[in-house]
Amino acid sequence: MTMPLTGITVLDFGQIYQGSYATLLMAKAGADVIKIEPPGGEPLRRRVAPGRKTTMPFAMLNANKRAVTLNLKTEKGKALLFEMVKRADVLLENFAPGAMDKLGVGWSVLHDINPRLIYCTASGYGISGPRSGDLAMDLVVQASSGLMSVTGEAGGPPMRAGVTVADFSGGIHAYGAIMTALFERERSGEGRLVETAMLEAMYFPLAGPIDSYTRRGTVPERSGNGGNGSIAPYGVFPVKDGYVAIHTGTDGHWLKLLDVMGRGEMKDDPGLATMHGRAQREQEVSDMVSAWTAGLTKAEAEAIARANKIPLSAVRDVAEVMMCEHMHGRGTLEWVDHPDLGRVVLPNSPLRLHGLETAPPVPSALVGAHNDEVYGGWLGLSAAELETLRAEKAI
Amino acid sequence: MTMPLTGITVLDFGQIYQGSYATLLMAKAGADVIKIEPPGGEPLRRRVAPGRKTTMPFAMLNANKRAVTLNLKTEKGKALLFEMVKRADVLLENFAPGAMDKLGVGWSVLHDINPRLIYCTASGYGISGPRSGDLAMDLVVQASSGLMSVTGEAGGPPMRAGVTVADFSGGIHAYGAIMTALFERERSGEGRLVETAMLEAMYFPLAGPIDSYTRRGTVPERSGNGGNGSIAPYGVFPVKDGYVAIHTGTDGHWLKLLDVMGRGEMKDDPGLATMHGRAQREQEVSDMVSAWTAGLTKAEAEAIARANKIPLSAVRDVAEVMMCEHMHGRGTLEWVDHPDLGRVVLPNSPLRLHGLETAPPVPSALVGAHNDEVYGGWLGLSAAELETLRAEKAI
């Protein structure tokens, strides 16, 4: 089986979502990812359901990784890290900026030990600048990035997106930065410090509100699901069993929508012939669409849209997405027998390289499950040495 | 100046946001990105403000690219593409799946011409499976991915995130997939078809709702900005001049918050000592925090949080983010003199490789601005041949 990152070794200090996503993608691409945790395990292991040792997010993000414990506050723990760094290609951490430096294991120390090491620090605000020390969680970056200011009902309070978009945007940007450095290393032979920040990874998605601001000279307000005076039909419409979202990006979509709604006569209304005209009459246009959708189910609306090339989808809930026939059919979602969680749906990598494989699912490991294999087998320590490390709480 | 992708040539059929983001990151990393548009220009050029030829999103996403026109519906246009493909490393397109095949210029044809070519197709749902033909815009994928189902007020309708998170998640995943293929090509010498889908790029951010669903057995509902019974204090709180978001991820954050609120006596309440306990009394805890924030400005609250390591940020609007001192100081945002737009704020790459440069800003080009340079200079066509191509509407 051929995978793109076979032979690449990753030391993964990722925790929670951001860092662990970047290294999960590397593991699924064939890298040997060694997840390094403090002896108690990383925070995402906590808050397990009664009778379990693993949470679903942990299982999603830490499949195909080996798990070791390491206490960086001990000298022997640091020495172990240095031994691993000599043999590794990539190290990733998403601690608060400076945390590794304070422990004496920051980039400059590790770079001296292995000049080919790529060291990725993925944080909320980056390692320089006035905000670098600010604590960042997904919700906080949704606020600082501007996302919340344009999310929510018109006239209502700022609203978060209900999924952790900032964490995962940070994570996939970290992956991209690491891959760029790995590619560059093929030419220069040099390792690098690479850096991503959640705040900066959330800037480009503001493109639409920035457009509006630049055009109108006023700061965009929240506008619910509406097209904000620039696009219609656009938004969320009720169906018998829930909601569908529709986004007519072109006049062609509008004309097709009129056909399926049985409102072909509206094609003769010159005021509705252009996007500008429809946006000026957004309420009227939305009411027309709602009247049509209200008579359909989600499945019926989707079938009509599919047959007529209209951009429409049901608003799917979490269970519907996890059971999505399309993603299961494509191998993006897989049923996996997890030793702790039982039979669960876990995602494969969303990066698809035809002609290459992704790693077949290996369930996430318990804390320190691979200590013997990694410290004994890989670093070559004896059973007695391992025992000492345990006794001294270095691992 | 050293950049990681110097020497890499990219044929960029990216349009709107998704595809163009992937290639913009390549351009900022030093690749020679040739943006190829139909003679009328790609859709993102449309809807310009009066007196302008460029929109801000276009300027953000197409800096540092050369712009040529190409009519793939002509035989001469196809022949030009084949000549470019012989010399290129990467081709990216985010048309509807199958569009390039229908024109006779799909992956298999181009792979035969240049077996080292990496061909990236970035779409809404991917190139296989029952949904592959569905039209996908950002809003539609926000619905199909589950994001909307958990965004919005409790009891209210599903709500979109006000920024185009699905488009840009697709784009950065495409970048990651391309870089993975470029790295792998260094070993195998082979080009690849690589594929990303917006839907699949939005799966992992569901980790939190998936956790909740697995734990409770009920599909997560919308819960506004609240911690949904599992975390408190968490949410958006009013200040004198707007709102701040606070996310206390640990007991330590809570204890610091009590100190700065002058509510140290609450440390003696055993019911509030754990996250579980605080989440059970979410309303009481949130009211306590609101009473404190209401007396502060955004700047005051941020200063206190920064000094005390509490995860908090003001809810910033678009103008505040564009003027962000932190990002300007780090060089992530730059003032650029754009020939059409004047002096504007444009983003640099959020991928930071220390010891390497990003390309200094070159403003986005007008439609076909580099036809002579690319078709004449690079492909070596004569002025007469260029004239013929123009006359025959092949470029």
> B274-317, pLDDT tens digit by residue?
999 999 999 999 999 999 999 999 999 999 999 999 999 999 99
Name chain B contacts of A191, Cβ cutoff 8 Å: none
Q: What is the CA radius of gyration of chain A?
A: 25
Name chain A contacts of B312, Cβ cutoff 8 Å: 135, 140
Domains, chain A, ordered by start: 9-203+350-391 (3.40.50.10540), 234-316 (3.30.1540.10)
Both tokens assigned to A171 = 């994570």
Name chain B contacts of A213, Cβ cutoff 8 Å: 318-319, 322
Distance in angstroms (rounded) separating the CA atoms of residues B395 and B392: 8
Is residue A167 among the annotated active site residues?
A: yes
B159-180 burial code (b ≥16 CB/10 A, e <16): bbbbbbbbbbbbbbbbbbbbbb
Distance in angstroms (rounded) separating the CA atoms of residues A212 and A222: 12
User: Is the CB of B214 inside 8 Å of chain A's CB atoms?
Assistant: yes
Both tokens assigned to B47 = 């809807």
The CA-based dihedral angle spanning residues A183, A185, A191, A193, taken in that order and rounded to the nearest 10 degrees: -40
Look at residue A326 in the predicted model and tell me its pLDDT.
98
DSSP string, B309-347: T--EEE---HHHHHT-HHHHHTTSEEEEEETTTEEEEEE
For residue A76, name the pLDDT band (cuts at 50, 70, 90).
Answer: very high
Percent of chain B with pLDDT over 90: 97
Query: Pick from A5, A200, A36: which is nearest to A122 by CA?
Result: A200
- Please check the confidence at residue B49 and state whether its pLDDT lies above 90: no
What residues have CB less than 8 Å from B180, skipping those under 6 apart? Answer: A4, A5, A29, A179, A351, A353, B194
- Please check the confidence at residue A1 and state whether its pLDDT lies above 80: no
Q: Summarize pLDDT for B75-85 with one digit per residue, the tens.
A: 999 999 999 99
Distance in angstroms (rounded) separating the CA atoms of residues A136 and A142: 10
- Please check the confidence at residue A163 and state whether its pLDDT lies above 80: yes
Residue among A42, A313, A348, A357 with most chain B CBs within 10 A, to mutate: A313
Both tokens assigned to B94 = 């985010």
Q: Summarize pLDDT for B328-366 with one digit per residue, the tens.
A: 999 999 999 999 999 999 999 999 999 999 999 999 999
Facing residues of B156 across strands? Answer: none
Q: Summarize pLDDT for A323-359 with one digit per residue, the tens.
A: 999 999 999 999 999 999 999 999 999 999 999 999 9
Q: Summarize pLDDT for A37-74 with one digit per residue, the tens.
A: 999 999 999 888 889 999 999 999 999 999 999 999 99
Q: What is the CA radius of gyration of chain B?
A: 25
Mean pLDDT across chain A, nearest whole number?
A: 97
B159-186 mean pLDDT: 98
Query: β-strands B333-338, B342-347: how paired?
Result: antiparallel
Report field, pTM of the whole predicted structure over 0.95: yes
Distance in angstroms (rounded) separating the CA atoms of residues B149 and B169: 18
The answer to whether residues A334 and A358 touch, using CB atoms and an 8 Å cutoff, is no
Neighbours of A187 (CB within 10 A): 12
Q: Out of A143, A156, A206, whose CB is closest to B318?
A: A206
Residue tagged active-site, from B167, B211, B251, B287: B167
Find tokens 């990725």 and name the residue: A120
What is the maximal distance between C-alpha atoms in chain B?
A: 86
Residue among A183, A234, A332 with most chain B CBs within 10 A, to mutate: A183
Distance in angstroms (rounded) separating the CA atoms of residues A44 and A81: 22
Collapsed DSSP state (helix, strand, coil) of residue B189: coil
Mean pLDDT across chain B, nearest whole number?
A: 97
Angle between helices A282-293 and A251-261 (to 10 degrees): 40
User: Is the CB of B203 inside 8 Å of chain A's CB atoms?
Assistant: yes
Surface of B (90-109) touching A: CB under 8 A: none
Q: Out of A179, A206, A225, whose CB is closest to B159?
A: A225
Query: Pick from B198, B143, B162, B219: which is nearest to A239 by CA?
Result: B143
Look at residue B1 in the predicted model and tell me its pLDDT.
72
Q: Out of B148, B176, B316, whose CB is closest to A144?
A: B316
